[in-house]
Structure 1
Amino acid sequence: MKTKYESRKFIDLIQRATSKWANWDPPRKITVGDYGTIINETGEFDWEGNIYSPHFKEQLKSSKYKFNIDLADAALRPNEQEAGDDHFIVKSWGVTAKEAKTSADCLVHISDCAAVPVPGVVNVALKLDLQFDGNKPAAVLVMHKPRYSSLPHDERIIRVLKSMPGVLKGKYIVTEVISCAAYMMHLSDQKQFSVPLKAVGPVTPAINAGGAASFAWSSEAAYGLSRQGCDPAAKYIPLYRLKMPCPKFWEWEDVDPPWNPLDNEGEEHELYDAVRYRCFY
């Protein structure tokens, strides 16, 4: 598989499956409240600032809009939530999850399926057998122990954003991030392979419930592009949501890719006149 911009192709496939954006470099920090744009050639987020930063606070003070809103207020800080599922798995069109196994008392959540209990395996936290149709590149993103952080639904956030047109106009806002202790991403057109996430030492219910454990990915993929990381002390950011602010919080729109539809090699189709709608103020 020859792809000019693997990052953009992977991000494009994940975005179309979830309306969320894959972080091509999960150890790289992306935080709720970040604002910036998307790099067309790579699909990566181009960070410009954060609405909770001291710098933004100083800019807010010099705004012509005079109101007393302190983003340090606990009610305006990002909401933190631990997911109920042990794994979150995203797969693009052209991929089928043929089998999923976890250790006892675990649940697996697949993006287009319901969460279901599956038989336990003593030293395997997850075993996923993936089937590719082989006709075009497809993408898979697996996250272990996902945690969610998101902007609060509070009208004061909108008032802050509307008061800074010179800074935020035309920018995208990170409204949600999904972090995890272990991730695996794979881009391939291979027919089939297995992805086990193995626990170092026995998997116990206490560990499944969130105790400290060490994990290691292992893959039988013969070719394709894979990235992975395992570290219970780390906070990987494989997935995040971008929004285009509108006058009301609940009317915010998901950000569409800035590129035209991509072919199997990740190149943009030249003959395509996309009409993209942008809403900010």
Structure 2
Amino acid sequence: MPALSRGQIYVDLVLKAEVKWVGDYGIADKDIREFRKEGSIYSDEFAQYFPNIKEQHAPLVGRRGDSTIIKSSNAEQLKELEPEEFTCLRELVDAPVKGTWKIRRGHAATLVLITPRTTELPREVLDRLAEISMLKDFHLVTAVVKCHAYACYLSGKFLVVDGDEVSLALINSRPIPGDPVVAEDGVHIGNWWSDGGGFVKHGGRKGGKGDFTPVFTLEKIRRPCLDYFRRETSPSIQEFLPDIVVAILIVVVAGLSVGLA
């Protein structure tokens, strides 16, 4: 089998993941590039290793946020959109989410999450889990982020000389074409609009039911002296994410398999 880049391995691994729920553990197979779920720490079978984990250490469900923007380090947000630049879209004045990003060089990505909610493992259980020998060869899903809608931009060029630019906005006005974003209570939030080069993908729930799961954390279970868990991705969407991880998140949302060099 030809050598695979780190990006290709993780893109395929993430896309082939059958389940992405907090507490699932399994094998990250780099040869066939997939994550195979072996079980869950919240299952009845696992109770023999960690009694009462469901009752005493249930996943923590965060509150809904308004919006969150994740970007790779070489995707620079230039400014908020100036409505006069797009005279046909005066609705940009009141757009709750809007911006222009420029790709300075190489692959880059920007992901916008609308009403994100994070569910994660209580961090205090990780030390205890690291002491359980049957988990030592597994990866663990420690957090997932769900949202009502997303917009993502992925630079399609291996080398960007002058820089691609893309503008994204969530516009309140109904007549604007695009994917409608509807909250759980049925309230219409807006429609996505974009302008510029590169690959742009966005979507929203028409009925307000169900969520996208574009971001999740996969951590390796191990027992070194000082650090029980090796972090493969960030457990918080608020923290800095490496370029390749952000690009993977974009690919997951878009539902595409893209090899990143």
TM-score, with structure 1 as normaliser: 0.59
The residue type equivalent to 1:229 in the other structure is G
Q: Does 1:36 align with 2:55?
A: no
2:97 to 113, 122, 126: 126
Q: How does 1:17-28 map to 2 (within 5 A)?
A: none
Q: Does 1:51 align with 2:20?
A: no
Q: Give the corresponding residue for 1:148.
A: 118
In structure 2, C-alpha distance between the alignment counterparts of 1:6 and 1:181, rounded to whole Å: 32
Aligned residue pairs total 208
Contact between 1:35 and 1:49, CA under 8 Å: does it hold in 2?
A: yes
In structure 2, C-alpha distance between the alignment counterparts of 1:131 and 1:148, rounded to whole Å: 28
Contact between 1:91 and 1:140, CA under 8 Å: does it hold in 2?
A: yes
Unaligned runs of 5+ in 1: 13-21, 102-119, 268-281
- State, as a whole percentage, how many aligned pairs show the same letter: 24
Q: Give the corresponding residue for 1:175.
A: 142
Q: Does 1:253 align with 2:230?
A: yes
Q: Give the corresponding residue for 1:78.
A: 59
In structure 2, C-alpha distance between the alignment counterparts of 1:250 and 1:7, rounded to whole Å: 23
Instruction: Classify 1:131/1:223 alpha carbon distance in 2 versus 1 (closer, same or farther; 3 Å).
Output: closer
Unaligned runs of 5+ in 2: 82-91, 158-162, 176-181, 234-243, 245-258
Contact between 1:23 and 1:238, CA under 8 Å: does it hold in 2?
A: no
Instruction: Classify 1:184/1:36 alpha carbon distance in 2 versus 1 (closer, same or farther; 3 Å).
Output: farther
Question: Could you say what secondary structure the match of 1:96 adopts?
Answer: strand
Contact between 2:61 and 2:118, CA under 8 Å: does it hold in 1?
A: yes
TM-align CA RMSD: 4.1
Query: Shift of residue 161 of structure 1?
Result: 5.6
Contact between 2:130 and 2:136, CA under 8 Å: does it hold in 1?
A: no
The residue type equivalent to 1:216 in the other structure is N
The residue type equivalent to 1:139 in the other structure is A
The residue type equivalent to 1:193 in the other structure is V
TM-score, with structure 2 as normaliser: 0.63
Contact between 1:24 and 1:238, CA under 8 Å: does it hold in 2?
A: no
2:209 to 227, 230, 233: 233
In structure 2, C-alpha distance between the alignment counterparts of 1:198 and 1:140, rounded to whole Å: 18
The residue type equivalent to 1:121 in the other structure is V
Instruction: Classify 1:191/1:153 alpha carbon distance in 2 versus 1 (closer, same or farther; 3 Å).
Output: closer
